[in-house]
Amino acid sequence: MLCPDGAGSYRVGEVIGNYYYVAGQVLRYMGFVKEQVAEDDQTVEGAIIALDEDPKMRWALVSVPSISFYRYQISFNLVKG
């Protein structure tokens, strides 16, 4: 997903399907946006969104400060109608 942040920058996000490929996928998206969409003065950042954090993913992202990691939570209530 591609999200302008309102301040002239872009954030590229990926909801995790496979931990082993997602960092490369986000980097490819970021590169495309930087070359094809963003202006020279605009920044492009990445976001990986997952239910759980994998230690290997955390180690990989230590070297890529422009990609942030977020965990999502799902909850719902059943209401008898």
pLDDT in tens, 31-48: 999 999 999 999 999 999
pLDDT (0 to 100) of residue 36: 95
Contact 31, 52 (CB under 8 A): no
pLDDT of residue 46: 93
Average pLDDT over residues 10-18: 76
- What is this structure's pTM? 0.75
Is the per-residue pLDDT at 18 higher than 70? Answer: no
* 62 secondary structure, DSSP code: H
Whether the pLDDT of residue 16 is over 80: the answer is: no
User: Residue 14's closest CA among 27, 32, 33, 31?
Assistant: 27
In DSSP terms, which residues pair with 71 in a beta bridge?
50
